[in-house]
Amino acid sequence: MTTICAEVLNRSDLGPDDDLMEAGMDSLAAVEIVTRIELAFGVDVVDAVFDTPTVRQLCLVVRKSIESAGAAEGSDGTA
C-alpha cells in the first residue's frame, strides 16, 4: 500500500502515517491510488481515500473490507 501511494505521489520518503493530502494527493492522484488498490486487493476505497488520509488508515479499510467479504461467505467458502 505504501508503495502504491509513494509511486503515485512520487514520494520515496512516504511513510505509513504520512497524510496523503499533505504529501500532494489531489483528485487525479486519488483516482490513480484508488484504481491501483482495487486492482491489487479487489477492494473499492473510493469513499475512504479522502476520509482516511494515511496509508495505515487505508490499510485498515482494505483489511476490514476483505474480512467482511470473507464473513459474508458460507462456511464452505461459497457465497
pLDDT digits over 8-56, tens only?
A: 999 999 999 999 999 999 999 999 999 999 999 999 888 888 888 899 9
pTM comes to 0.83
Q: Which amino acid does the sequence have at 10?
A: N
pLDDT of residue 78: 52
pLDDT of residue 5: 95
Q: Find the angle CA(53)-CA(22)-CA(25) to the nearest 5 degrees.
A: 70
- As to burial, measured by CB atoms within 10 angstroms (0-12 exposed, 13-18 middle, 19+ buried), residue 58 is buried
CATH of 2-72, one of 3.90.1150.10, 1.10.1200.10, 3.20.20.70, 3.40.50.300: 1.10.1200.10
CA–CA separation, 57 and 72 (whole Å): 23
pLDDT digits over 63-79, tens only?
A: 998 898 877 765 455 54
Ramachandran assignment for 46, one of left (phi > 0), alpha (psi -120 to 50 degrees), beta (any other): alpha
